[in-house]
Amino acid sequence: MTTDQQSATRVAIVTGGSGGIGGAVARTLAARGTAVVVHYSGSAERAQQVVDSILEAGGQAVALPGDVADETAMTALFDAAEERFGGVDVVVNTAGIMLLAPVTETALDAFDRMHRVNVRGTFVVSQLAARRLRPGGALVNFSTSITRLQQPTYAAYAATKGAVEAMTLVLARELRGRDVTVNAVAPGPTATPLFLDGKSPELIERLGAASPLGRLGTPEDIAGAVAFLAGPDGRWINGQVLFANGGIA
């Protein structure tokens, strides 16, 4: 890519880009002309499938690995993105894990695992984004509508996402004068393979019926919300949590 091409192309890093929502975000941003770094932690094959689909559609993408909670690995990821594409304009933190159990039965190592990925990982990547996003840039973190729904077994997970919301709203105000927006998207029930796994058709139908729109969300629904916040029409949205859940909360 030439220097002129680099300066004209917006560049995004999507953590967890091999996942259902992360992959949809990567493809949606690429379809709108953004070069995308598809980050992955455990599935190089799925990440490459996302990259291949973007390349086949005429977009620009590369898959890169790393532990989101490791500042050295994430610094290397940002370095690689800047070296390949010339800079970074958008960072989307979809990487996260969800381990469910009632509070009385939650193993502390499970809580610590979620905290490391969901909270520390988001903090590490947000810190780098705050330092390195170009003017006009956008950081989009991921919360969950569970923070409002208060469903049993979700306490530990919701606690990590409450922390993500807090850091997101504070960071938006700390970046005054930088021309960088900071927001969070909070999906509701979304039909990803991970969400659907192990659920009966009856339960899936009941969860879909909870929305006034009468269905589960799709990864593309969530990706559209992210693309809005990351694009020119979302520039006046800053320091907000956007609940993308079809009206369930």
pLDDT in tens, 167-226: 999 999 999 999 999 999 999 999 988 788 888 899 889 889 989 999 999 999 999 999
Kindly list the distances between the CA atom of residue 242 and the CA atoms of 49, 143, 195, in Å, as whole numbers in the listed order.
29, 9, 20
State the catalytic residues: 157
Domains along the chain with CATH numbers: 3-244 (3.40.50.720)
Pair 141, 21: CB distance under 8 Å: no
Residues 6+ apart with CB under 8 A from 13: 36, 37, 39, 77, 78, 81, 88, 90, 91, 92, 125, 129
Q: How many other β-carbons are positioned within 10 Å of the β-carbon of residue 100? A: 15
Residues 6+ apart with CB under 8 A from 171: 126, 130, 139, 182
- Tokens encoding 77: 């990821």
Pair 72, 124: CB distance under 8 Å: no
Between CA 41 and CA 74 the distance in angstroms is 11
* Confidence tier at 150 by pLDDT (50, 70, 90): confident
Between CA 76 and CA 162 the distance in angstroms is 28
**pLDDT tens profile 38-77:** 999 989 999 999 999 999 999 999 999 999 999 999 999 9
- Tokens encoding 201: 């058709």
